[in-house]
A = this chain, B = another copy of it.
Amino acid sequence: MRLPNTFDKENLAGIGHQLHQFAAELYPICRSITGEGIRRTLRMIGDRIRLQISEVPSGTQVFDWMVPKEWNIKDAYIKDRSGRRVVDFQKCNLHVLNYSVPIHATMPLGEIKPHLFTIPAHPDWIPYRTSYYKEDWGFCLSHNQLVALPDGDYEVCIDSTLADGSLTYGECFLPGQSSDEILISCHACHPSLANDNLSGLTVATELAKLLAECSSDLHYSYRFLFIPGTIGAITWLARNREATSRIRHGLVLTCIGDRAPFHYKKSRRGDADIDRVVAHVLSHLTEEPEFLEFSPYGYDERQYCSPGFNLAVGCLMRSVWGSFPEYHTSADNLDFIEPLRLAESLRVCATTLEVLENNRHYRNLSPFCEPQLGRRGLYRPTGGDSIPNEINARQWVLNLSDGENSLLDIAERSHLPFSVIYEAAVLLRENGLLELVPEPRDREKVPTKVANRNTGPNS
């Protein structure tokens, strides 16, 4: 499989521009883990790719959790005695503690203060705070705003509703030749925050679009999830336990629009194919990538990698959540993410999928000594010339293709890019020197017969 896109330099600029523009359209919406914000976001994604929307009623039990009431908001403000909005939800939706219960009252500043959140260290920035599972109300504002407020009475209004409704998520399924699946997951519940996680939403949308364009060539089936964080992943897993047994590889995408080098957090397994493939791709395509061991905090890989599932799902980031000052503040805005960075992230994702798609086992049909490449026009003509990577790759593929080494194994051992190894394998196969062999997992299937793929998610 080859994606239609080439990701050369000019191409990257154009793609980046589109991605950033889509992020700009999504940016103003006040999203939360339920409600109209996420619904509208999913509709806009659905304009680009075929998205199936699910609504799960409040109160539905999902494993140890319960789908919460639906939250919606029209307006919110704090007005001083002159009627001026000193804090105004219309200017920035971060101003409201996400999931605030409604309130409309006048009270002295002293009583309001326990409900106000600021960041003294960054006095111009508005923090992003939530209270999903404990009914509360509050405002987030810049520290400068707070200190400028004179004592006295203020009118406090949050025109929100918290009531039975549903949790909404979107799913884009692209069937491939195999029922084995690759999962791409990103959360869609953050209000006006750009890196976390409009960057993931936009890149995932574009990635699904690219794959849909070559869907007849796909080996794997693909499942893209656009879900509210934590509760959304839990809800999807609870309703799709059977499907999880088909997930072979997966990625959570988040914070992939800023300037930082890539950070990849490994799956709980630590040495899954997805971990090795992303390591290979980042090492060959990007500068100074960093690799983090799995930990049980972070994004929705927490749920996919919970011990009952233990799926091979890692998390691709640039900056790591919580480690950059703009995280969960108004400074994580459209300036913080850059078109070219978004495009590079898309390229990393697309290349990762290409490697997964094309990573097969082959067998050298001429395994005793080297086959004579020269008479097939596959070698340099004159002894003494230096040998280009393309020819080295052929020798690596021939030498290691004993049926036990995958093309990824060969790429890793040869330190050559997977694409060069893959091209060599294609060429050698065309020349009758190589045959495809069944994947080790498939080989096992044949004799056992009793293996039931659907008995449990850990299989």
Residues of A within 8 A of B (CB): 62-65, 98, 117, 127-134, 136, 230, 233-234, 237-238, 241, 268, 293, 295-297, 302-303, 305-310, 322, 328, 364, 366-372, 374-375, 381-384, 386-387, 392, 395-396, 398-402, 413-414, 457
Contact = CB atoms under 8 A, between A and B. Distances in A.
Contact of A368 (B128, B133, B296, B308): B308
Nearest to A414: B295
A308 to B, nearest CB: 3
A306 B396 CA distance: 10
30 contacts: A62-B369, A63-B371, A130-B383, A130-B384, A132-B383, A133-B374, A133-B375, A134-B374, A134-B381, A134-B382, A136-B382, A230-B370, A234-B369, A237-B369, A296-B396, A296-B398, A296-B400, A297-B387, A297-B392, A302-B395, A302-B399, A305-B399, A306-B367, A306-B368, A306-B398, A307-B367, A307-B398, A308-B369, A309-B369, A322-B386
Given A241-B368, A309-B369, 4 more contacts: A302-B370, A303-B369, A305-B399, A307-B367
A326 to B, nearest CB: 14
* Main SS class of interface, A: loop
A366 B131 CA distance: 24
A383 B237 CA distance: 23
Contacts of A382: 129-131, 134, 136
Contact of A296 (B133, B237, B384, B399): B399
- When A and B form their complex, which 5 residue pairs have the shortest distance between CB atoms, in order from nearest? A308-B367, A308-B368, A296-B399, A130-B383, A296-B395
A299 to B, nearest CB: 12
Contacts of A305: 399
Contacts of A127: 384
Contacts of A132: 383
B370 A303 contact: yes
A328 B366 CA distance: 30
A297 to B, nearest CB: 6
A303 B372 CA distance: 12
A387 B295 CA distance: 13
Contacts of A303: 369-370
Contacts of A297: 387, 392, 395
Contact of A400 (B307, B383, B384, B387): B307
Given A131-B382, A383-B129, A368 B63 contact: yes
Contacts of A395: 296-297, 302
Contacts of A309: 368-369
A380 to B, nearest CB: 10
Contacts of A381: 134
A65 B369 contact: yes
A64 B371 contact: yes
Contacts of A62: 369
A61 to B, nearest CB: 11
